[in-house]
């Protein structure tokens, strides 16, 4: 042997002592982090590109922050793709602690590529900033073989950018980082949309209520004598002012498209006025007020009629919830002509307004107004990150956010296509609601599918149409 035989150059006892001292130092001066191994669900067979992965385990572990003076030199970068946070952190963990504590737990898990050491692509939850960092490089030979052994792993990490991964560890402070991270200025920076979709659901059924009064000299009804044509948006309705001491009425219009006008079917983008309803009949009129319709179309003519003992403005006392269509409005009370009205249903499934089509005539006692109950209902509140399934389509997705007030559900990791009117059920919460509206605005923005790149590339080389180099 070339080495001096009288010196051990590192015995197992010395190596154990150094490892124990390092473990103790990490427990004294480190921070508690969570190690989250990546599970590979789907890969491209040729380039081994990860198409789908998930993180559903989180193992607590102590780590020393090597870059004690802050994150990397480029915390925020502005590019044509938006604002990107590129914070970096270097963490040092005990080799022995990882191999004796975390590795055995990972060994029997499916879809984990490597369990014997920390792996690039795995995540670290950093509690001091409430952030997720992705391991970009694992240095396992630093310090370099002191006493013929290595004792730590140096993890060089970069702020994690979410791209459709499933994060469901069961640890609330980790899972909620999927919604956003806080930037240096205190504002939330979205980790990523990753193909999110917004659904507006039917809320839990609750009957709406309203109150009314009766007035004299109010507008009973507005009659259309000519619907006009050529409207692309609902025109404004102007009503002449009431005399001093009275209140001027307010009305709104509704359009109708696809009907025959002068022998031709109206363009779907060019509509006629279908109704003019009263928002407020006003009061104190002594003669029928003049009605004018102002918009981008032409030819509308309308007249009004005033009466005594008509229903006044309808005040919503409770908007209810769970409405999918306009409910029946009923007025109960003695009158010469009974009042009639229509309800406006908001996107959230509540009654946002009631417009009067006929304010009635001859009421001497205030009638009662009743709004029909919603025909269907939902129940329960969805849990963050749980899986939902469409009852008809069988489509599945994960929940990103759920607002029980507006009944808006934001989902990601979507498989299949959800359908309006079907029931979606939460796997863990058991919540069940009908889909009222599906918003596709931000679901496919063109960039995720590289549509713009493909379009521009076709102008250079496009093999799909013909051979740009000519046919042989």
pLDDT tens digits, residue range 75-89? Answer: 666 665 556 667 889
Instruction: State how far the Cα of 31 lies from the Cα of 125, in Å rounded to an integer.
Output: 11
Q: What is the DSSP letter of 395?
A: -
- Reply yes or no on whether the pLDDT at 325 is more than 80: yes
pLDDT tens digits, residue range 334-355? Answer: 999 999 999 999 877 889 999 9
Q: How confident is the model at residue 46 (pLDDT cuts 50, 70, 90)?
A: low
Cα 429-372-210 angle, rounded to 5 deg: 100
Instruction: Provide the strand spans (E) within 127-261.
Output: 131-139, 152-159, 166-167, 181-182, 188-189, 197-201, 209-211, 214-215, 218-229, 236-239, 250-256, 260-261
Per the confidence metrics, is the pTM higher than 0.75? no
Nearest to 194, CA basis, from 158, 157, 166: 166
Two tokens, residue 345 = 């249903």
Two tokens, residue 105 = 């737990």
pLDDT tens digits, residue range 169-219? Answer: 888 888 776 654 443 334 333 333 446 788 988 888 889 999 999 999 999
Instruction: State how far the Cα of 326 lies from the Cα of 377, in Å rounded to an integer.
Output: 15
What's the start-to-end Cα distance of the chain, in Å? 71
**Exposure pattern of 105-136 as b/e (b: 16+ CB <10 Å)?**
ebeeeeebeebeebeeebbbbbeeeebbbbbe
- Reply yes or no on whether the pLDDT at 468 is more than 90: no
């Amino acid at each position: 042997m070339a080495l001096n035989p009288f010196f051990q150059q590192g015995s197992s006892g010395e190596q154990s002592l150094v490892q124990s001292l390092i473990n103790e130092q990490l427990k004294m001066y480190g921070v508690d982090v969570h190690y989250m191994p990546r599970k590979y669900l789907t890969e491209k067979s040729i380039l081994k590109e990860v198409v789908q992965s998930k993180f559903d385990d989180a193992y607590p572990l102590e780590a020393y922050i090597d870059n004690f003076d802050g994150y990397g030199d480029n915390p925020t970068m502005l590019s044509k793709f938006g604002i990107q946070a590129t914070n970096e952190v270097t963490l040092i963990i005990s080799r022995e602690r990882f191999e004796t504590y975390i590795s055995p737990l990972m060994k029997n898990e499916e879809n984990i590529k490597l369990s014997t050491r920390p792996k690039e692509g795995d995540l670290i939850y950093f509690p001091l900033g409430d952030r997720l960092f992705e391991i970009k490089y694992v240095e396992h030979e630093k310090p370099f073989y002191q006493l013929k052994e290595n004792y730590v792993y140096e993890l060089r990490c970069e702020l994690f950018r979410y791209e459709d991964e499933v994060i469901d560890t069961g640890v609330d402070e980790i899972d909620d980082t999927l919604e956003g991270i806080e930037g240096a200025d205190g504002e939330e920076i979205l980790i990523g949309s990753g193909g999110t979709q917004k659904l507006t659901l039917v809320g839990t059924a609750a009957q709406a209520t309203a109150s009314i009064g009766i007035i004299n000299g109010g507008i009973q009804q507005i009659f259309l004598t000519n619907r006009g044509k050529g409207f692309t948006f609902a025109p404004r309705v102007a009503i002449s002012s009431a005399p001093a001491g009275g209140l001027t009425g307010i009305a709104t219009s509704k359009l109708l498209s696809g009907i025959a006008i002068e022998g031709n079917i109206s363009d779907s983008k060019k509509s006629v006025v279908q109704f003019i309803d009263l928002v407020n009949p006003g009061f104190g009129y002594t003669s029928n007020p003049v009605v004018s319709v102002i918009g981008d179309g032409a030819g509308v003519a309308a007249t009004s009629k005033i009466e005594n003992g008509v229903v006044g403005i309808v005040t919503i006392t409770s908007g209810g919830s769970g409405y999918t269509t306009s409910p029946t409005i009923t007025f109960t009370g003695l009158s010469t002509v009974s009042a009639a009205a229509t309800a406006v249903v908001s996107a959230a499934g509540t009654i946002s307004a009631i417009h009067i089509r006929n304010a009635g005539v001859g009421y001497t006692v205030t009638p009662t107004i009743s709004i029909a109950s919603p025909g269907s209902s939902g129940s329960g509140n969805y849990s963050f990150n749980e899986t939902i399934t469409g009852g008809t389509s069988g489509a599945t997705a994960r929940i990103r956010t759920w607002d029980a007030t507006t009944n808006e559900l934001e989902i990601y990791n979507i498989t299949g296509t959800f359908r309006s009117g079907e029931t979606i059920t939460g796997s863990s919460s058991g919540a069940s609601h009908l889909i009222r509206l599906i918003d596709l605005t931000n679901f496919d923005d063109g960039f995720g599918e590289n549509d713009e790149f493909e379009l521009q590339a076709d102008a250079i080389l496009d093999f799909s149409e013909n051979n740009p180099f000519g046919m042989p």
